[in-house]
A and B are shown apart, each in its own frame.
Chain A
Amino acid sequence: MAEKQLESTVAAAAFQKQWFAELRRRVFDERQPYALLQADVPFELFDLLDIPAVSNQWWASLVAAKRQAPAYLDAMSADGYHEGLCHYCSLGYASTKYRDVQEPPWGGLPTPRLLCARLTCDCIHRVFSLWADAFGSELFEIDHPGASQLPPQWWELGRHRWRELVEPHRLAFVASTLQRLVAKLEAIRGQKLEVEALRQRMERVNQQEEVFDAVRQLIASAPETPVRMTEQISNVMATQWVRGTDWALAHARAFYDEVRQRVNDGIAACPGEKARLMWVGVGLWHDTDFYTAFETSHRAVFVWSMYLAFGPDGYIRYGLDDPMAALASRLASFNEYLHNPPWAAEWIVHQARFHRINGALVLRPRNMKPAAAGRMFIERALEDAGIPVLPIEADVVDARAWDATAARQSVRSFLEKRVIA
């Protein structure tokens, strides 16, 4: 694994490990409840009611990074699940159901009091129902009403005019579902959620994302990128799962300070930078070294992924007179922002221009069909904008079919023929 360039990155990793150990201690020693959530569920509600929450996607990325995914996926396959099913969202389930095949990371997930997922892709209801059954835990589902109106430049509307971004009937439905979720959490915890507390938390989430917006500005405007994409992800995602907390806000600010200092000192992630690359899609968790593999040979550095950029553009909500509605507006269209036409392609091209991107690597995800949709619109839009595209086919958590050497060679060829030339 590439050496970490930022102290913030080391601190973020240490925090996550410590946080998980504390979670296990609380669950086992104090019999405190915790929840397992799909990444797009509003974690704030759980934290405000003192129910720690683990992200399914974070856990899957951890299992993949430990190179444990193949054994679990083999077990799933042997049990009769076909190979075409989504691996990313089901790896957590597999690590629970087939935990006998190997010891999961950090002692494994304890039994949650509640699982909660938004029903975006068709498989989510299935995967989370099976997972809840495997634990003997309760599942709360947040249905995902479909969008019929998709006005342009969602990332600008979302901040101040978020009511225009989501049709009223969708907003009302999601807000009502979140109210029921709150009632469920209140019953678990035996305490009430004050609306004012939610408003304050969302204000702090805004502050956190404003800091990330400032980091993004630094990265986009500095002569050479001051921070690698992988370290952006580590710092952003460690805070996103506990967003709006004291630690998250403090860490975001420390991260900003360190990046700003590097810019002021003229320190680049890849000195002599010749090519600025963007990664479009979910992270390649089993081979994160891929993202630094072209720095020495080609002075090509990954500058952008959705993980940093989506924080400020997807999460900030101003005008919090009805914080539950604002929260509902944030999550109602997550998938549409990131994967579907016209929103995903429009945003990614905008980001590419803003970050002075020279070449885009677009993930063609295997075993993750819903996330693969919209990709051809994105690739075409980038090429039309003059940004060369290299599609990369990979399963983001399963290394079994990943040819690291061939993938690196295809990128080198792409850089030499279409980007640096």
Chain B
Amino acid sequence: MKATPIAALRAAFEASCIAKQDVKQKERGVVLSWPSVPIEIVRAAGLSPILVRSDSSVTPMAGAYLEPGIFPNRLRMLAEAALSGNLSHAARIIVPRTSDPDYKIFLYLREFMRLGIAPTMPPVLLLDLLQSQGPDVRSYNAARLRDLLHELSKVSNRMVALDDMRHEISRANLARSAGRRLVSLRRGMPRITGAEVFPLLGAFWTVDPETYANLASAAADEIGRRPPIAGPRVLLAGAPVDGTDLHSALETRGAVVVSEIGPWGSGAFGADVVCDDDPITALADKYGADSIGPRTPARQLRASIAGLLDDVDAVIVSLPPEDTTFGWDYPALRNLLQNRGIPHVCLSGDSCDPLSAADEERLDMLMSAMPVRTEVRRG
């Protein structure tokens, strides 16, 4: 029986978890530690992106080298996969400079190779896209993307012309457009829960663009016919989540997650890549500006959150143990939410672990403090 578009996208998202797939079957796969690497470049080189996400699997080999409390779960998963030989058939590992832990894992992976403890690991590349605002950043980032394209082209032995890049950008924009349709179905009167839609959005990063566009459009058609969902609408802020555990925890309590700050859910698409002239610079601009992570400038994140508050009834701020960044934004966010009369709660657990008793209690208190709303919001 043929899978529905929703089931197909969900399956693709689930398969993207590095612990659950056999990377050995993907000889032309490129492992990315976070969705802030231009997938247009990976595809133009004839390779396919494999994204690393958090998982509840244990990581005993990584634990011998990675200090506790510093690396998010997804990077422990990556190190475990590298040390266990599970990445041996991947073409490359690309680590973007999305956070200091990402940069450190790049150095650790190289050290594993130097020490001879991960002999089958493919070469590791750092994609040093900066997110500060200096005048030299744009040209620096574009040069890094040219280096990346050059490196990946060597791997696949494929000459990539600028028109090839434009073509890939166009394909990805098509997928973005379809993805934005799904996002729109979360706004105003949400017609799909966060737990259900999150995988459909996250699949953007790994599914072939035309396939994604077709599946996402068909899924949007189907979801658009559903009745609106009642329940308080919640925004997930703080450290970005890369799975649906937190969504499920909230939605079993009667809420509906309508947005999240991060590259996996509603933040996966942003605006199209505008490619007037140089496609590489266009990609540098897009990914430098839109990538969401600990190095995203505080003002930019604040503006993103503020732009979503008209559409939510409550905010969850995730501040997991390894957080060194988003906690600094919290008092200002709290003040903003208090001024807007929007209730919120901070969760301190790791979003890929089961909710702690303290976080369960915080969620329960938030839900009980919100007015019961059985009617759907109109507009």
Contact = CB atoms under 8 A, between A and B. Distances in A.
Contact of A141 (B107, B132, B136): B132
Contact of A369 (B70, B110, B114, B132): B70
Contacts of B108: 341, 377
B114 A342 contact: yes
A31 interface: no
B65, B324, B330: most-surrounded residue (chain A CB, <10 A): B324
B330 A82 contact: yes
Contacts of B294: 122
Interface residues of B, number: 49
B194 to A, nearest CB: 24
Given A129-B298, A146-B97, A341 B325 contact: no
Interface string A148-177: 101000000000000000000100010011
Contacts of A169: 140, 143-144
B67 A121 contact: no
B106 A80 contact: no
Counting chain A residues whose Cβ lies within 8 A of the other chain, the interface size class is: 35 or more
A146 B324 contact: no
Interface stretch (B31-39, B221-229, B315-323, B366-374): B315-323
A116 B343 CA distance: 36
A173 B70 contact: no
A143 B65 CA distance: 28
B116 interface: no
B321 A341 contact: no
A80 B298 contact: no
B136, B298, B331: most-surrounded residue (chain A CB, <10 A): B136
B99 interface: yes
B372 to A, nearest CB: 28
A120 B143 contact: no
B111 interface: yes
B130 A340 contact: no
B104 interface: yes
A81 B66 contact: no
A141 B126 CA distance: 22
B69 interface: yes
Contacts of A376: 64-67
A268 interface: no
Given A81-B331, A82-B319, A376-B66, A126 B325 contact: yes
Contact of A85 (B70, B126, B128, B328): B328
A85 B134 contact: no
Contact of B135 (A127, A180, A340, A373): A180
23 contacts: A84-B322, A84-B324, A85-B327, A119-B132, A119-B295, A120-B100, A121-B324, A125-B132, A125-B297, A125-B298, A126-B329, A146-B97, A148-B125, A148-B126, A169-B140, A177-B136, A340-B104, A341-B108, A370-B104, A373-B100, A373-B104, A375-B67, A377-B65
